[in-house]
Structure 1
Amino acid sequence: MKRLPKWRLMSLFTILALVLSGCGEPYLSALKPAGEVADMQYYLMKLSTLIMVGVILVVLIIFVLVFIRFRRKDDKIPKQVEGSHTLEIIWTAIPILLLLILAVPTVATTFKLADVSKMDSKNALVVNVRSHLYWWDFEYPKQGIVTSQELVVPTNEKVYFNLKSMDIKHAFWIPAVGGKMDTNTDNINKFWLEFDDKRANEAGNLFYGKCAELCGPSHALMDFKVKAINRDKFDSWVTAMKNVKTPEKPDSALAQQGQEIFNKSCIGCHAVTPANKMPDTARLAPNLTDFGDRSRVAGILPHTKEDLKNWIKNPEAYKPANQMTGKYGQLTDDQINAVAEYLMSLKVQQ
């Protein structure tokens, strides 16, 4: 009777585990693949799960049969049988066969995903990904542009990535499309992804990326967004970004005031032009060229002026240990309102 409460507690935890395993968002699920890499990884997950479940069922069936058929019925000691070459061969051969069934496609897929030989070709789209505490930087070296927090890619073609960290180890992961891979400080990791056009349209052309390596207090908040659009729209976006040479003067007086404050307090860390001429060490904060077109503030908050003002006023409350905290002088509410108005006006016309 003393053990009964413990069993009840264990049952409760088991039920909670089953319920919580079904929680989450569909755009963060690797079980709804939206690209070639994700399809291959999903196939391997299904194959390994099928093998494991099959082994469990066979063992369970054998256990039940033996339990029923050979249960003790009297005090007689049954005949002792030691050794069976046939059985030993069977239970040695079956695991080897199962390992081969799993290993062959796994190794083949691993080599295919690691093939970045066409990365240096003229038409290959390459993105240099830099991870920071706690934000992402995306450089398109062939196009000569840089953006932050929102990755824009074309659908139905391979996109190659160079991954590097600017501070500590992080990991680049887009659950619905494929991954993950570490970003290190001392070497560059390379891989590729392909975004399916049909499934991108079903997802509203927006996917979500995460940091998949524990990196500090705001690890869970180190998100980025991925806009997957067709090649024509992508080319239009690139052209529009290239045409942004210097920040234009805003239309409203409040936004103009915000631009002046921004140039005095924020321009030392943030860039408002997409040019990639600055060295890696100068990328202290996210590029804000197309901030007005984005879908999130700081990668996590709704893209509204009020949320932007709250972020500027107290970034530590939303992303603990972020690098923006304490980097600028205290602004008044009126100044923050003006800066927010200016930032919301930074849109790239397409």
Structure 2
Amino acid sequence: MNELITTGNAVETVRHRTTWMESGPAHGPLMIFLHGWPALGLVWRQQMQHFAARGWRCVAPDMRGYGGSSRPDSTGAYAVRELVADMVELHNALGGAPAVWVGHDWGSAVAWSMASQHAERCTGVVNLCIPYFSRGFALPELAHLVDRDLYPEHTYPVGQWDYWLFYREHFTRAAKEFEVDVAATLALIYQRRPKREAGMRAFTAGIRAQNGWFGAAGRAPVTSRDDMLLSQDDFDAMVAAFNDAGFIGANAWYMNDAANLAYAADAPNFGRIGIPSLFIHATNDLVCDSTQSRLAEPMREDCERLTEVTIEGGHHIMIERPLDVCHAIDEWVRLKIEGLDQAVRDRDR
């Protein structure tokens, strides 16, 4: 069923403006989808249509720094505490009923924080590719989990997260190089990745050594759109949005490690998550490597009701394998979210 998705929705407070896409019945249980870097809410289109057809009210905001949402000038405005506050305001505008929060990439850091900091606003939490870190999603918490057989420390001090340091050292330049040819940048980022082979390293591990994402060229190479990931309409919408907003706000999410560690330390119950949680691994994601490294280990200690599913595919698993992602969430809801699945089915009778 191809459910209608409405756009142009917005909530504006004295501190922030959030725009969002919406699909499904206005009084259905809430499912809120949070995108990561660099994206828009539209990357969740197929999941929204799937769950709207099953009676859910599906909402996908453009996060702070993206699309029609606010784009503050200060990098400190992109700390996770501020991003969570944005989602609290959005949630209030949607009526405040407990929701299933679904995140990907940096959106996962926000969704996990909704579960740890605002459990009363959550029925459950689902995240793709980025596991939970109760001490904070920050480079110091990631670096010690790097696979040192694959990334020897003397050559790769922070392993596949090298680009994170590049943003710190060349913040403005990094954004400007993405902006030289936005269509080429997005076409390069939104490509399916090959099946993972033993010994494969993430391209991102050598960003500083090669003097930037694109080396001496200073711009993305011309790349054809992967039409298996983004339709022409969605790709054009992404290009238009990033031509307007640029990458400064998107990259600023990487600039707040100290603030993000401090925010995580404020979480109740030492950050342990007691609500039902689903984590979806992507086998071919070399950066967020949760299948062959220790990256997911802290999550298993700190999520009390955790379910894990592994899907073969790359980092953008929700658009590469959309039905598999939908089915994983369907099954988790059926088994773990007591009463909610039955309530949705009863409403549809």
Please state which band the TM-score falls in when normalised by the shorter chain. Answer: under 0.3
- Ranked by relative contact order (alpha carbons within 8 Å, sequence separation 6 or more), the top structure is 2
Q: TM-score, normalised by structure 1?
A: 0.26
Q: TM-score, normalised by structure 2?
A: 0.26
